[in-house]
Amino acid sequence: MESAERKQAINTAAVSDIEEALSQCGVTGSTLGVAEKEALDKMGYVMLPNVWDASSTERLREALETAIRQEQQTDSAPQTGTRQVAKLASRNAVFDGIYTNPRLLAAAYHVLARAFKVFQLSGRDPLPGYGLQGLHNDWYARMPSDPYYLVTTISLLDDFTASNGATRVIPGSHLWPKQLPKAMTQPLSNHPDQRVVIGKAGSVLIFNGHLYHGGTRNDSKLPRRVITCQFVARNAVRPGDNPEEAPEHLTPAARYLLGA
Ligand SMILES: O=C(O)CCC(=O)C(=O)O
């Protein structure tokens, strides 16, 4: 087949398996380096620098600000403390780039090792003085012999510093056989092994959804905007979950990744 025709066929044929979706998004065996895979395996997280260049980061910031403004206009209870907006997939095509990014997808596949889809795509900006969360993980407890169910990716639209509400993590806690005692999950509790992860805008913090983590308080006067995209094993269900809506313009691979 001529290559233009082949491209057209790829662009219109439905995608029905994860390997095809990953391939169409440009993921290869070397998209993620050995050290990055090892960090995900052993520490449960990795910070990937320079995933978004300056102009992509700016486009994402603008789209997020617009989405937050729209949300505030329709929200009967105005948000205070932390600005948040969910269901970004249907709000602006610029967000398609997040869940089809090869490095994010390669990391999700490395951890989940089976078919997955977007669980949620949302924005978060803890305003000065806010944002502190208790240490938590993003999925149910699992038995040591169970596979992993969820991967969380946090795209930094502003630098993460030691004082502006960067995410804290407990390295290696995705491998713990037991949950943290309840007292340790209170917002003001600190774990002796926790680390606040800092990084430049344009980086992406990726962690195993079973890793203990949480937002810290924004003690600066600056914004700390992120876009969070979570990927979940396709066969995992949680009652009451509400999937992202898939806009018309999506490629078949993007449509598959949204679970549409
Ligand atoms: O934005 C962050 O630093 C982490 C947020 C988080 O863990 C959550 O909202 O569950």
Q: Is 214 in the pocket of ligand 1 (CB under 6 A)?
A: yes
The whole-angstrom separation of Cα 160 and Cα 61 is 15
Taking only the tens place, the pLDDT of each residue in 225-259 is 999 999 999 989 777 778 888 899 999 999 999 99
pLDDT, position 75: 67
Domains and CATH numbers, the chain: 35-257 (2.60.120.620)
Facing residues of 254 across strands?
none
Q: Give the position, in ligand 1's atom list, of the atom nearest the Cα of 166.
A: 3
Taking only the tens place, the pLDDT of each residue in 177-226 is 999 999 999 999 999 999 999 999 999 999 999 999 999 999 999 999 99
**Side chain identity, residue 254:** A
pLDDT, position 245: 87
pTM: 0.94
**Mutation test residue for ligand 1: of 119, 124, 173, the one with most atoms within 8 Å of CB:** 124
